[in-house]
Chains A and B, each alone.
Chain A
Amino acid sequence: MTETARPIIQIQNVSKRFGKVTAVDNVTLDINAGEFFVLLGPSGCGKTTLLRMIAGFELPTEGKILIDGQDVTGVPPNKRPVNMVFQSYAVFPHMSVADNVAYGLKIAGVKGDEIKDRVAEALELVKLGGFETRMPDQMSGGQRQRVALARSLVMRPKVLLLDEPLSALDAKLRAQMQFELSDLQEKVGITFVTVTHDQDEALSMACRIGVINKGEVAQLATPSDLYEYPANRFVADFVGSVNIFEGKLTLDDPDKAAVDCPGLGKVYLNHGVTGPHGADVWIALRPEKIYLHVPGEGKAVKAAAQDAPDGYNFARGKIKGMSYLGDITLFEIELESGACLRVSRPNLSRHDQEDFTWGDKVSMHWRADSPVVLLG
């Protein structure tokens, strides 16, 4: 990320209401020049509406949108320095690939020779060189998407908007396109703003992610911050898989804290929380941060037996369910309290999945800095 972050898109107190439904609720957001920004959220959260307002297809009910310092709130889409790749790609079916890509340049009145050069350059960029005379119905979905990309990039927009760009592709192609889009963004240096409901997509491509929930920004962070330091239960639950337990903050010192969870027992942390004492909080614990072992063999046994919270947290349970996924195995563990804990375990050797089976009594431990304390 750049130190001299310059906002290219400024969304200021923007709301959008469709009748009584509020799609976007007082969003303020800066997107920096040159970054790959992802708007992530469940369907119907208002992320696409936000994108369409940046493109100019929807007008904000309230608030202002600035692109490169200029207020574009009332500017129609054909006069904005942004281009969009649509979810359906919207490639013009009656035009050849070259004509599709050249369309915007022709409208802009660019001269014939320059059009030819720029179209060739754009097609080369999306690896469609030699496809100039093809018609869209002779191409696969992935290729049509590249045409849509080239058609937008050839305009050299200040910002490229992508609406669910990978949702229509199959899993393998999607993974490949994630890398290609990141590469492309680095190569052309244009700001990309992508909308997606797929957290893998967001985590793998984004410089920064804005998580949207019910029309509001739930959290704005880098992918790793979003995953490791979710700001609230919605983000913790929406991004990745998580165990959430309700509890009370019973100890809150600068260097340690404890949360008493009825479901999980006492959870110790090696850092302060700075929440009000006795407050209702939530503990979020990722399944992969929990170590699973046969009772009596774990390194945390001693610490837990002494109830010394400086090392690891500790819990006991019984395997209630497991699903083998190849690279990892997911366990559902019934704790002594009756609550369930999801634990994932990497299959580091070929025989790891044989270590445990249904009904086994197991012990678990996790580091004191693994749980996240959520106040909301």
Chain B
Amino acid sequence: MALFARTPVAPLEYSRTLWMRLWVGAVMVFLYAPLVVLMIFSFNDSKRNVVWRGFTTKYYEKAIGNDQLVEALLNSLTIAALATIASLVLGAVAAVMLWRFRFPLKSAIDGTISLPIIVPEICLGVAFLMFFAAVDWPTDLVWPFNLGAITIAHITFCFPFVTMVVRSRLATFNREQEEAAKDLGASEWQVFRDVLIPHIKPALVAGALLSFTLSLDDFVITYFTSGPDTITFPVKVYSMVRFSVTPEVNAASTLLILLTVALTFVALKLQGLKAIAETH
């Protein structure tokens, strides 16, 4: 690596200056060192995961063989998928409505719609606990209906994020395109389908990614809304850690990280990285 460049460094070529490289390196270490350690120690041949005692993959087998853990992961993925779809629809509709129409109490709705993002999660969690108890929400439903409460809670804090990204995308929409489509004979619905949806598509992908990952790794709110049969992955990991930090937890977490990265990668491929970057 050409850390010490032979060609002179241009005035604005900060990426080639030593101090900038050191800084970027430090940031990378800060961000990823814990994850890398977690991954490395998932291969540690030791029950008490503190000292390195040799390489093994047996904890991966153990994690995959752990029915409770697999069930929790399945729950998490199901909730995340449902919450994402619902958040996308709700969030996009809310964004388009706030952007397109004037109606009474609009500014009030505009102001409160992002409240679930701001309110501390613990408050939301307690609120949901009280709410579901108050309405006597049934807890003995069959899978996947027993995940209803958690899914509803997740939708609540996911859809404002979708609304936010879709709105910022809508702000760049050229209204003349809408008029052009109408001028060519399109109805309101056809304008929406053929012009507006394609325009906000990158924001929808970004919003879906956000929702999915937010839902997948949420602990606090889920902890308050989950029952004995509806353990999600983060809640399960937490309960495992309470007994002891075994490499099995590391292995399971590593798998989850890989899954998330793969999903993100697919989504970015699907949409094109540039288009998503443009939405922000």
Residues of A within 8 A of B187 (CB): 78
Nearest A residue to B198 via CB reads A94
Is B182 in contact with A77, judged by CB distance below 8 angstroms? yes
Which of B183, B190, B194, B195 contacts A55, CB < 8 Å?
A: B183
Q: Chain A nearest CB: distance from B204 CB in Å? A: 13
Whether, in the assembled complex, A1 has its beta carbon less than 8 Å from a beta carbon of chain B, the answer is: no
Residues of B within 8 A of A32 (CB): none
Contact code string B171-197 (vs A, CB < 8 Å = 1, else 0): 000101101111111110010001100
Chain B's interface: helix, strand, loop or mixed, by majority? Answer: helix
**Given that A92-B195, A94-B198, A94-B199 are known contacts, is A107 also in contact with B184, CB under 8 Å in the complex?**
yes
Stretch at the interface among A39-47, A81-89, A297-305, A332-340: A81-89
**Given that A88-B176, A92-B177 are known contacts, is A103 also in contact with B183, CB under 8 Å in the complex?**
no
Contact code string A64-89 (vs B, CB < 8 Å = 1, else 0): 00000000000011110011101110
Cα distance A143–B84 in the bound complex, in angstroms? 40
Nearest A residue to B185 via CB reads A107
Residues of B within 8 A of A93 (CB): 199
**Given that A92-B195, A94-B198, A94-B199 are known contacts, is A107 also in contact with B186, CB under 8 Å in the complex?**
yes
Is B174 in contact with A77, judged by CB distance below 8 angstroms? no
**Given that A103-B194, A107-B190 are known contacts, is A90 also in contact with B184, CB under 8 Å in the complex?**
no
Residues of A within 8 A of B186 (CB): 78, 103, 107
Whether, in the assembled complex, A108 has its beta carbon less than 8 Å from a beta carbon of chain B, the answer is: yes
**Given that A78-B187, A94-B198 are known contacts, is A103 also in contact with B181, CB under 8 Å in the complex?**
yes
Interface residues of A, CB < 8 Å — how many?
25
Contact code string A56-68 (vs B, CB < 8 Å = 1, else 0): 0100000000000
Which of B183, B194, B201 contacts A84, CB < 8 Å?
A: B183
Interface residues of B, CB < 8 Å — how many?
18
Q: Chain A nearest CB: distance from B47 CB in Å? A: 56
Cα distance A230–B111 in the bound complex, in angstroms? 56
Which of A55, A90, A148 contacts B174, CB < 8 Å?
A: A90
Residues of A within 8 A of B183 (CB): 55, 77-78, 82-84, 152
Whether, in the assembled complex, A104 has its beta carbon less than 8 Å from a beta carbon of chain B, the answer is: yes
Residues of A within 8 A of B201 (CB): 94
Residues of A within 8 A of B195 (CB): 92
Q: Chain A nearest CB: distance from B131 CB in Å? A: 42
Is A108 in contact with B199, judged by CB distance below 8 angstroms? no
Cα distance A83–B195 in the bound complex, in angstroms? 18
Is B174 in contact with A78, judged by CB distance below 8 angstroms? no
Q: Chain B nearest CB: distance from A122 CB in Å? A: 13
Whether, in the assembled complex, A151 has its beta carbon less than 8 Å from a beta carbon of chain B, the answer is: yes
Cα distance A93–B274 in the bound complex, in angstroms? 15
**Given that A92-B195, A94-B198 are known contacts, is A108 also in contact with B179, CB under 8 Å in the complex?**
no
Is A86 in contact with B194, judged by CB distance below 8 angstroms? no
Nearest B residue to A87 via CB reads B176
Is B198 in contact with A86, judged by CB distance below 8 angstroms? no
Residues of B within 8 A of A55 (CB): 179, 183
Is A155 in contact with B174, judged by CB distance below 8 angstroms? no
Residues of B within 8 A of A86 (CB): 176, 179-180
Which of B174, B177, B179, B184 contacts A104, CB < 8 Å?
A: B184
What are 30 A-B pairs at a CB distance below 8 A? A55-B179, A57-B179, A78-B183, A78-B186, A78-B187, A83-B183, A83-B184, A84-B179, A86-B179, A86-B180, A87-B176, A88-B174, A88-B176, A90-B176, A90-B177, A90-B179, A91-B180, A92-B180, A92-B194, A94-B199, A103-B181, A103-B184, A103-B186, A104-B184, A104-B185, A107-B184, A107-B185, A151-B184, A152-B184, A155-B184
The 8 lowest CB-CB distance pairs between A and B, nearest first, are: A104-B184, A90-B180, A90-B176, A94-B198, A107-B185, A86-B176, A90-B177, A78-B182
- Taking Cβ atoms with an 8 Å cutoff, the residues of A that contact B are 55, 57, 76-79, 82-84, 86-88, 90-94, 103-104, 107-108, 148, 151-152, 155
Q: A104-B185, A151-B184, A155-B185 are in contact. List 11 more A-B contacts (CB 8 A).
A: A78-B183, A83-B184, A90-B177, A91-B180, A92-B177, A92-B194, A103-B181, A103-B186, A107-B185, A107-B190, A155-B184
- Taking Cβ atoms with an 8 Å cutoff, the residues of B that contact A are 174, 176-177, 179-187, 190, 194-195, 198-199, 201
